[in-house]
Structure 1
Amino acid sequence: MADPTIQTFCCHHNNSTDMAVVIMQEFDTDAYNTVCMLSSAMGILGAVYQVLPREESNFPHRWHTFSAARGREIIVWLAVADLFASLGVFIRSALWMNFKSIMPTEDDTSSVVFCAISSAWTQYFYTATWIWTLCYAIDMRLLLIERPGHPRYYHAVAWMCPAILTTFGLSILYTPDAKCSSCHNSTSLSSAVLRILPNYCATYIPLAVVMITNPTLYMAATRDLTAAVSCSMSQVTGRERKLVQTVRFKFALTNLVYYICWMPNLINGVLLWTLWFKLPIKVIISLWYIMAVTNPLQAFFNALVYQKWGRSEKFRLSWRRTLSDRVHDWRGVNTLLPETTPLLNQRFTPHTSINGSSSL
């Protein structure tokens, strides 16, 4: 899981009165690691399912074909980031159970290094999943207002921003000596602010930004789709109305999955910073277990909500599409727009078979 609190436990702790040490005395690390391994294993299965190549879909209208291709590209990269994040959680938990310690002793340098690297790996790829989730919402919004996507910008932001944020947050936390014991001491609040708060901000700010921005983008995209349907025909039939309802429901489920998987992290962060020395230890541990379940399951839930609805998906055994084909799909709207007169009048015609399914 991507939690800054667990990351502080990677440091050296030699004070028996340290709050982190007190928590660990009541924390069943084997049970926790088992939960992490089970949930991350499901996440790995969900991510692999999303990455597997599909047969090309033949939709009744070119607009549906381009929307499916554009959305599919982002979903695959989201699944790739989820796959590496879940692998990181699984391997870290397995090694914690058998070889390493969640809370290293004063002379256990190898556990500190392992914990720091594995935490950086997990945080980096989970942050990438948040940004890819945002990119999908942005691209669907652009698609419904007939604008081309920006895959190069998506990749630049989705891979570079997590690297900057992860390096910034963890380097302040672990350098120069990986001693965070004073950060959990009630007499050293200034040290906590200087060493721990930057990592919390680097983790939770992008998480909260996506949580706020995505519902807004999806509501705007739904309004665009509704307006397109209303303007293209003098009256809206049940078929077009069902399409709008399906897209709206799919966007709502996408937001719901994100909230279920990551809202416990925000709650944990707020409670720890406001009630750290008053919060019951059992509450803290309970939140960790909840995050251990929900965070890795993001990939599994995404495999359910991002798949094509109303159409069976066929897998293929080889990657037959070339890079030029993928670039053509991304830029397809550019070539599609001049051929429509206008696109909105072609998008939903009485001859278009929707069948109540959505390719978004």
Structure 2
Amino acid sequence: MADPTLQTFCCHHANRTDKAIAIMQEFNTDAYNTVCMISSTMGMIGAIYQILPREDFTISQRWRTFSRGRDIIVWLAVADLLASLGVFVRAALWRNFKSIMPMEGDMSSVIFCALSSAWIQYFYMATWIWTLCYAVHMKLLLGDKNGHPIYYHILAWVLPAILTSFGLIILYIPNANCHSLTSLSSAILRILPNYCTTYVLLVIVMIANPILYIASTRDLETAVLYSMAQMTGRERKLIQTVRLKFALINLVYYVCWIPNIINGILLWTLWFKLPIMAIITLWYIMVCLIFL
């Protein structure tokens, strides 16, 4: 739901002919906001479950390496909880008090939309980086190296702030009139930077995580062979479990965020003839995946 398309809706709509108006004519905002509220509530419940303390059920003392990534999972869940909270609050206020598309002169709706969008984008970006940090952390630990929690925190909290600020400042300043653009070149200068700051980071994590997890599994196999000089059924089971865990992490990440990538591709390749129903369908898919 860190979707740059919806963030452009925060701009003023001084005329009734821009593409956002055309999309909104086909868009049931009440139904969409209701789905947002339901899905984000489920997402918050799932995040709280991950944050709650639990007993360590690792297979053996020798393989407690994997429990050392628990702190990263907790911080990822905290970021996800705050992002889902932002989606819930924005949807609830949009449904009951504010307009999803501020009109000219409605500065309160513009400010609310911009700030809530920044909040959601920031914390979802943080979840992406924490996902990457977990993959890096596992690679280091399974390679018999120490992780770097301080660096993880700096990267996960500071980089999203920089990227979010950069993208949204260009989009909204000075007058939040990004829909008054008259050409594709002006749209590229005003709107595209926010897409780039959002989706480049997302794609980097999509590419890097599978590579890191494959390398981590190989490190685990090497560590088993060196320590045991043989591969017993118990070690094979552990390796298969780890491989499955890494595969599921990647699968969930891809399922959650590929619709955003598709949405961005459709928007920028079909700028002058937008497939409105396809884009709206993708928005519903994206919001339904919040709870994953």
How many percent identity over aligned positions?
70
* Equivalent of 2:195 in 197, 200, 203: 200
Corresponding letter in the other structure for 1:293: C
2:92 maps to which residue?
94
Report the counterpart of residue 137 of structure 1 in structure 2.
Answer: 135
| Matched residue, 1:168 | 166
Shift of 1:192: 0.4
Q: Determine the C-alpha separation between the residues in 1 that align with 2:58 and 2:219.
A: 24
- TM-score, scaled to structure 2: 0.97
**Is 1:297 the counterpart of 2:288 in the alignment?**
no
- Structure 1 residue 64: Cα displacement: 2.8
One-letter identity of the residue aligned with 1:195: R
The one-letter code of the counterpart of 1:99 is F
Query: d(CA) in 1 for partners of 2:161 and 2:230?
Result: 50
Aligned CA distance change for structure 1 residues 252 and 56 (closer, same or farther; 3 Å)? closer
Per the TM alignment, residue 58 of structure 1 is displaced from its structure 2 partner at its CA by 7.4
Does the 8 Å CA contact 2:4/2:195 hold for their aligned counterparts?
A: yes
Residue 138 of structure 1, CA deviation: 0.2
Q: Deviations over 1:76-107 (max 9, x none)?
A: 00000000000000000000000001101112
Deviation, 1:297, is 1.9
Match of 1:216 among 211, 216, 220: 211
Instruction: Give the unaligned 5+ runs of structure 2.
Output: none
CA displacement 1:124-160 (0-9 Å, x = unmatched) = 0000000000000000000101101100000000000
Map 1:227-246 onto structure 2 (within 5 A). Answer: 227-246=222-241
Larger helix proportion of the pair: 2
The number of residues matched between the two structures is 292
Query: What does residue 145 of structure 2 align with?
Result: 147
Kept in 1, the 8 Å contact 2:12–2:102? The answer is yes
Runs of 5+ consecutive residues of structure 1 not aligned to the other structure: 299-360
2:252 maps to: 257
Q: Which residue of 2 aligns with 1:8?
A: 8
Q: Name the counterpart of 1:64.
A: 63
> Deviation of residue 233 (structure 1)?
3.0
Residue 109 (structure 1) aligns with: 107
Aligned equivalents of 2:73, 2:24: Cα separation in 1 = 38
Contact 2:217–2:239 under 8 Å retained in 1? yes
Aligned counterpart, 2:154: 156
**Alignment correspondent of 1:76:** 74
For 1:16-95, what aligned pairs fall within 5 Å after superposition?
16-55=16-55, 60-61=60-61, 63-68=62-67, 70-95=68-93
Return the offset for 1:59.
Answer: 6.0
The 2-side partners of 1:255 and 1:166 are apart by 24
Aligned counterpart, 1:124:
122
2:75 and 2:169 mapped to 1: Cα distance? Answer: 27
Given that residues 229 and 236 in structure 1 are in contact (C-alpha distance below 8 angstroms), is that contact kept between their aligned partners in structure 2?
yes
**Residues in 2 aligned to 1:216 and 1:246: alpha-carbon distance in whole angstroms:** 18
Change (3 A) 1:66 1:144: closer
Give me the CA root mean square deviation.
1.3
Match of 2:281 in 1: 286
SS in 2 for 1:12: coil
